[in-house]
Structure 1
C-alpha cells in the first residue's frame, strides 16, 4: 500500500505507512528517514518515527506543505530494500531477573505455565527491534517478544517503578528509563542508565536499534551500577539474517 501524507497543524507532516505493527512497515519508515537525511534539507526540524508512521516537523517559513510533499513523495514511495546481509545495531542490556528486581517474574511464569527459568530463557533469547521511543523520554517500544510469555498488565498500576525496570505488558516488553508509575509486569532490572540528559546522546537506544537482554547476577548489577556512565554497554553489528528470535 502507498503511504498517506497528511498535514499536522501548520508546520508538520504525517506519513502513514499502514495500520499494523509490522517489521516491514518499520523498515520502510527507517528507510524513509535515511532517504530524507541523505538530502540534507535545511528546515527539517525533527523526524519522529512511530509504529506505523513518520511525523516530520518543518520550518513553515522555508517550505509550504505542498512543496514539502513534492520533495518527500518520491522517497516515501520507494519499495523496501530488503537484504538479509544488512548490518543492524544490537545493544546488550545486562539484566537481573526476579527477586526484588523482578517481583512479577513468578506471576508471568505461573500465568504461562512455565518455570521462572523458562521465562528468563525465552525473554533473553530474542533480539528486540526498537520500533519507536515514547511514553517518557528514553522509553523503548520493542517488537518481537515470544507470545509464550505474554502476560496482561497489572489490574492496578503501581505508583512507583524504579528506573531500569524491565517489564512485560501483553505481547510487549521494554525498560523503564526513569522512576515512573506503571502497570507493566516487572520481571527484572538493568543497572544501565537508559536516559541521561547530561549525555550528548541522552537516550541509550534509538528507533531501529535492537535490544538483547543478557542475564546477570546481583553482584554484577551492583558493580555496573557503581561504574555509572563509565560503563559502556556491549554493542554488536549483526546481519539481519543472524538476529535471534522474532525479528
Structure 2
C-alpha cells in the first residue's frame, strides 16, 4: 500500500488491485475518521478527501495502513437487477467481432454477475467488472457525439449503462429505462462501488427478433 498527498486536502492510496480498493473504501467509511469528508475508490486506488481544519494528513496517512480490512467489501446484499431490452445499434457488430450469434451475445451478457469497480466519466456512470471474456471488444473507432440515456454498452473488460445522454465510444447492445442517476435520491447514484449487478432481459429467452437462445443458432 502506497500513500501519497493529493493536493493540500487529500491522500491517494495505491492499493494495487480492485478488491483491496473496495475493502479499504469500506474500512475507511466504517471507521468514521474525523475530518474525512469523502472516500472515492478507483480501480486500484482510493482517494481520501478531508477537511484540513479537522484532519491532519500526516496522522491520517500513518493510520490508514493499520485499519482492519473486512473480508469482503459488500454486505451480501442481492444484486441490483437492471432490465434490458437487447437490440442496440452495435449488437450485430459485437456478434460479428466475437464470432457469436446475437442470442449468444445476449445470453453471455445477461448470465454474468457484475461488480461496480468505480464511478467516473459522468455522474452515475458505473464501470462494471465481470463481463464474459468472450465479449471483450474494443471501443468504436469513431465515438458517437450523443449516446442515448439508458444505453447498455460494453468496451474492453467492462460493461456499463449510460445514466444520461452523453458522447461515448462504447458498443451499444441494449437499453434500460431504469433511472441510474436521480438528484432527488440519496445517494443520487443507484450503483455504488462494490455493488453487484445483474442484467435481466425484458423478454426472457428471446432476442429482440424473436429467436430463442439455443446451440444451433446462426447470426
TM-score, normalization by structure 1? 0.77
Q: Report what 1:222 is aligned to.
A: none
SS at match of 1:87: coil
> Following the alignment from structure 2 to structure 1, what is the Cα–Cα distance between the partners of residues 126 and 110?
16
2:113–2:196 contact (8 Å) kept in structure 1: yes
Q: Report what 1:65 is aligned to.
A: 57
How far does residue 159 in structure 1 lie from its aligned partner after superposition?
1.0
> Following the alignment from structure 1 to structure 2, what is the Cα–Cα distance between the partners of residues 121 and 157?
26
Confirm or deny that 1:93 pairs with 2:82. Answer: yes
Match of 2:71 among 77, 81, 94: 81
1:12–1:57 contact (8 Å) kept in structure 2: yes
Question: After superposition, where does 1:1-247 map in structure 2 within 5 Å?
Answer: 3-18=1-16, 25-75=17-67, 78=68, 81=71, 87-98=76-87, 102-217=88-203
> Following the alignment from structure 1 to structure 2, what is the Cα–Cα distance between the partners of residues 139 and 198?
17
Task: Give structure 1 stretches of 5+ with no counterpart.
Answer: 19-24, 218-247
2:123–2:189 contact (8 Å) kept in structure 1: yes
1:28–1:80 contact (8 Å) kept in structure 2: no
Task: Give structure 2 stretches of 5+ with no counterpart.
Answer: 204-219
TM-score, normalization by structure 2? 0.87
How far does residue 120 in structure 1 lie from its aligned partner after superposition?
0.2
Q: Deviations over 1:79-112 (max 9, x none)?
A: 66269xx7244100000001xxx01100000111
Q: How many residues align?
A: 203
Q: After superposing the two structures, state which structure 1 stretch, 119-128 or 32-41, moved more.
A: 32-41
Residues 79 and 196 from structure 1, CA distance in 2 versus in 1: closer, same or farther, beyond 3 angstroms?
A: closer
Residues 164 and 81 from structure 1, CA distance in 2 versus in 1: closer, same or farther, beyond 3 angstroms?
A: same
Whichever structure has more helix as a proportion of its residues is 1
Residues 165 and 82 from structure 1, CA distance in 2 versus in 1: closer, same or farther, beyond 3 angstroms?
A: closer
